[in-house]
Amino acid sequence: MKLASLTGSDNYFENFQVGAVYRHARGKTVEPLENVTFTNLVMNSAAGHFDEHVMKSHPAGRRVVYGGVTIGIVVGLAMQDTGENAIRELGLDGIRLTKSVFHGDTLYALTEVLETKESHRDDAGEVVFRHYGINQNDELVFQGDRRVLVKKRSAWIDR
């Protein structure tokens, strides 16, 4: 497994090899403001996301983070290494939220390269990434596949 640096020049289409796994350098602690704001923006009315009083009597005992926030944080943590040279996002599939995330949990991201293929464009190729989100206890909380059109170094840099 390769520990990705905070910035790099190895994230063009030609650099991604099927089977490579990256553990992204940063983690992110989920703040209550992020969860409540996003939950309200998407008009999710489930009390478990924003009603502390109700959740005290729930088996979880605390507010749960909306899945969209979990997905956004994990994919965001991976973007520096997988999206810095993206031209376009093509798809997000196979979403699995495997364990609840709570306010104060810290999320980390890992990415596996599943597929690379030529595209209809000469200056870019398609890459399929599988993103994994893990919490501070190394428990899997998210998994999803993201298909991206990525610049080719040979067309954008090596001219």
156 and 123 Cβ atoms separated by less than 8 Å: yes
Helix, strand and coil content of the chain, in percent to the nearest 5, comes to: 25, 40, 35
CA-based nearest residue to 81, from 135, 155, 157, 9: 9
Q: Report residue 118: phi and psi, to 5°.
A: -65, 150
At residue 60, the pLDDT reads 84
Give the pLDDT confidence of 37-73 residue by residue, as tens digits. Answer: 988 899 988 888 878 888 888 888 888 999 999 999 9
Which domains does the chain show, CATH number per domain?
2-156 (3.10.129.10)
At residue 6, the pLDDT reads 45
At residue 4, the pLDDT reads 57
Give the pLDDT confidence of 79-128 residue by residue, as tens digits. Answer: 999 999 999 999 999 999 999 999 999 999 999 999 999 999 999 999 99
Pairing status of strand 2-3 against strand 86-97: unpaired
Q: What band does 3 get if pLDDT is binned at 50, 70 and 90?
A: low
Q: State pTM to two decimals.
A: 0.90
11 and 81 Cβ atoms separated by less than 8 Å: yes
Residues 6+ apart with CB under 8 A from 5: 25
Q: Where are the alpha helices (DSSP H) in 1-145?
A: 32-41, 52-56, 67-82
Q: Which residue matches tokens 């599988």? A: 130
At residue 117, the pLDDT reads 97
